[in-house]
Every structure is written in C-alpha cells, then in structure tokens.
Amino acid sequence: MSLRTQSSLDVSEEALNEISSQATQLVFEYLTTISERPVRAENYAGKTIESIDAELSIEGVPLDKLIRDCRTLMDLSRHNGHPRFFGYVASPSTPIGAYADLIASALNANITCWRSGPAGTEIERMIVRWLGSLIGYDRDAKGLLTSGGSMANMIALLIASRRKADASRRGLWNAGPPMTLYASDEVHMSVAKAADILGFGRDHVRVIACDNRLRMRLDSLRESIEADLREGLRPFCVIASAGTVNTGIVDPLAEIANVAREFDLWFHVDGAYGAPGVLDQRKKHLFAGLERADSVSLDPHKWLYVPVDAGCLLFRDAAAAMAAFNTEDADYIKTHGYSDEEAFAFWDYGLELSRRFRALKVWLTLQYYGTRRIAEAISEDISLAAYLGEVVSKADDFELLAPVELSICCFRYVPAGMKSDTELDRLNERIMGLVQKGGRAYVSNATVNGRFALRACITNFRTTKSDIDKTVAAIREAGGK
C-alpha cells in the first residue's frame, strides 16, 4: 500500500465554510429561542433514537441531514438555560462560553503539562489565581481545573489524608488505625463517594448534626472528633459547606476553621455551588473564614455561567498536593532540559493525564463580561430566590421549609385541610412530576428535616420576576389537580 498524499478526512475550504456556517446558525437559533421553548420536551425513552438516523454510516451522511438531526436533539432536550429551569445547580452557558468550547476543541490542546500545552497551561494557572482572588480565598492560589466538584472534593480528600499519614510512606499511606473525616448531614453526596473510592469507607465519614438553620453544629463536631481520638482513630479532615446543594446554607466557616486548627485537621470547604455568592456584598459576611481553608472546591459551571465541564480545586500548599501524587513517572512523560516553570505538570496535582483546555471558556467569560457584571447577575439570582421565599411565606397554600440564604428556595404546597406530613410528602412528589412534565417550569426536590420539599435553585441570568410568578402558578395549578 502506498503512503497517502491526502487524507481521507480532509475537507475543502468550501466544505469547511459550510460546516462553520450551518453549525453557527444552529447555535444562534438555539440561543435566541431558548426562552420560548418548553423547559423539558415531551419525550419518552427511545424517542431520540427513533427521531434521528441511528444507523452507523459507511459512506457518510450529508451535512444538511446531520444539522437537521442536531436540531432534533436540541428539540428533544431538557433546556438548562431556560429562564424557568430551577431543577439543579447548573447555570446556563453564556454565548461567549459556548463559542469558547468551539475554539478549545478546534485547538484540541491536551493540557497535561507546559510542554504539551504551553499556552493552555499558563492560562489555567492564571485562572486558578483569578478564582482564588475572586472569592476572597487567596490571590496567589494554586490548584487546577477539574471535571466538577465531585472530582475536586476527591482530590482534596486524597491530599488531606496523605498529609496526615505522611506521604513519604507511599504505599503505606492508609495503613494503621482507620482515618476519619467530618462533614454535616447536609454535605454533598460526592464526599461519601470519594471516601469510599479512596478506601476509608463510608462508615468512617462522621456525619455531624445541623442546627435549626441547617448549619453544622460545632459542639457535635468537637464531640465526634474527641470520641474518635479516644478510640485511637486518626481524624484527618473536616469539610464545611459554603452553600449546600440542598438548601444553599453556608456553614459557620470561621468557627469550623478554629476547630480544624485545634485538632490539626485539614480544613476543606465545598464551595462548588455557593462560593461565588461571596460576590454579593449583602452575603459577604456569610463567607468569613473561607480564606482560612486549606482547600476549596469551586465550579465555574455552577454559578459563573460557564459551560460544563469546568470545576476547580484551590489550595495554598502546592508541596502537600504534589506529595500526594508523587510517583515514579513513566519515561515518556519525564521532563528533560526544561526550566522549573516549563517542567510544570498538572498530573503532579490531580488524577487526570489527558485534560481538555477548560480554562479558555472561564477566561473568555470572565474577560468578556468583567467581574462587575457577573457579580450583578449573581446578586440578581439571590434576590429572585429571596422574592420566591417571600411569595411562599405570604401564601396560605405554601410553606417555606428552609431559610433562603443564597439562591435556593425549599418549600412545599400545603392545601387547606391537609396536615399530615406523609400526605404532604406524597402530594408534593406528584406535583413535582406534573410540573416537570408540563414544560412550563422545572423544579426538583430536597429532603429538609425529613420532609419532601420542592426545590428551586436560581443560577440563571435569564430568569426574571415574571418567571418566578409563572413557576408558582404552575405549581399551584398542579396542586389543584
């Protein structure tokens, strides 16, 4: 077989222009009509595959047909960018963020280390410093971008545990008495999962009770640590929440930091959702003590309006992080003849080797809008959640189930004459299903003090007061049925 002179995958300039034109027009149409679409399309399992060309092509499918299929996929999707999508912590992508992903994919840099992706590596390290400064953590923060808060939390736990166990022992890092970590019963599910994956076991995650405002209780934290020490166990980390995913409540960070220092525990703050709330000057006091954390998780794709995936882990002690991942490198990734800065590698601080250019969309979003406009959008989200809380509190047929501290409101529909929590749980569960399927709005659920709550998380720059009113109307209508 002769060597090729032209690839079978090359396309002409005319074909490239046509791809660019049609794809850009499709995205333009979507972004300009997203508010007019149902939040969730009428769909059923299997409908998507029935609606597109599902046969694997041998000779290729015409571009026009593929664009039509992409339009179908959009039509059959749930639209997280819709102004009445309040289901989960998922901010909509800004237009500049969406196109940033296109640019990053076109470059297709693998941001493993400086020599693999020099421009991307420097942008990511700069973005990490910017994020540390933005939330008042550390102007010279170290860290890396991750797929999301779950990965950031797991890396933080690994660093924390190896610091406590003496990372120099490597393979024996988890030998000896069991290691224990501490988090409230409102902590994100990723913490227990990470503990399980890392070998501590879920039974060594000490679940600390919360007070009547759903914040970690300091007395329970201290009692749990002291009890484990008496048993000869090894406490190594306490995790506080800077905005829980259920209710948006911020733990007493400064007081928890004091306990962590007293017992020489790594202090990790899960701010994956809530940390950007510090940009609202009205809420800044809630985050006092964040700057004392050893590490912080923060997801730009949750409340900085950046496309998925864009998580982040921030820390100060780069040496502790590097020690946790210190291994004998494979020959092909060893650096030779580079300065210290040029020898930098993200694999020294995290789990991934192959890493996409996530920093580009964070950089373009922050630079295009500027921090003032982003802070305004976050403040508006918080104000809209407060407004929903006021509407609920004043209504005879609704009940507020948790304080509205950031941008999450948890409540339930309470019709006249129905008092049983069991009946109300079942009713509100049915209401949620009707609202989600109806397509006018989308709320999810949380368990608050043992009760089923309708949960609205507002992290959307498109949402207005009118959208809140329409969502309340949709819930009330579903309740009436």
Beta partners for residue 111, in sequence order? none
Q: Indicate the pLDDT class of residue 54, thresholds 50, 70 and 90.
A: confident
What does the pLDDT average to over 131-156?
Answer: 96
Interatomic CA distance for residues 258 and 129, integer angstroms: 25
* Residues near 161 by beta carbon (within 8 Å), at least 6 away in sequence: 173, 174, 179, 198, 200, 236, 237
Interatomic CA distance for residues 109 and 172, integer angstroms: 36
The candidate with the shortest Cα–Cα distance to 217, out of 248, 262, 261, 186, is 186
Backbone angles phi and psi of 197, in degrees to 5: -65, -40
Residue 168: pLDDT over 50: no
Residue 90: pLDDT over 90: no
Residue 381: pLDDT over 60: yes
Q: What is the pTM of this model?
A: 0.93
Is-contact 378 387, C-beta < 8 A?
A: no
SS (H, E, C) 387-439: HHHHHHHHCCCEEECCCCCCCEEEEEECCCCCCCHHHHHHHHHHHHHHHHHHC
pLDDT score of 18: 96
Q: Indicate the pLDDT class of residue 61, thresholds 50, 70 and 90.
A: very high
The candidate with the shortest Cα–Cα distance to 301, out of 287, 291, 312, 290, is 312
The candidate with the shortest Cα–Cα distance to 467, out of 441, 446, 444, is 441
Tokens for 171, please give them. Answer: 């393979």
* Residues near 267 by beta carbon (within 8 Å), at least 6 away in sequence: 237, 238, 240, 256, 257, 260, 261, 292, 293, 294, 295
Q: What is the pLDDT of residues 298-344, one digit of tens each?
A: 999 999 999 999 999 999 999 999 988 876 555 545 555 555 678 89
Is-contact 157 165, C-beta < 8 A?
A: no
Interatomic CA distance for residues 426 and 464, integer angstroms: 30
Interatomic CA distance for residues 149 and 429, integer angstroms: 28
What does the pLDDT average to over 189-204?
Answer: 88
What does the pLDDT average to over 382-403?
Answer: 97
Report the Cα 182 to chain-centroid distance in Å.
21
pLDDT score of 202: 82
Query: Max alpha carbon distance in the chain (Å)?
Result: 83
Interatomic CA distance for residues 215 and 230, integer angstroms: 26
Q: What stretch of H or E contains 463?
A: none
Q: What stretch of H or E contains 453?
A: strand 451-457
Tell me 93's DSSP state. P
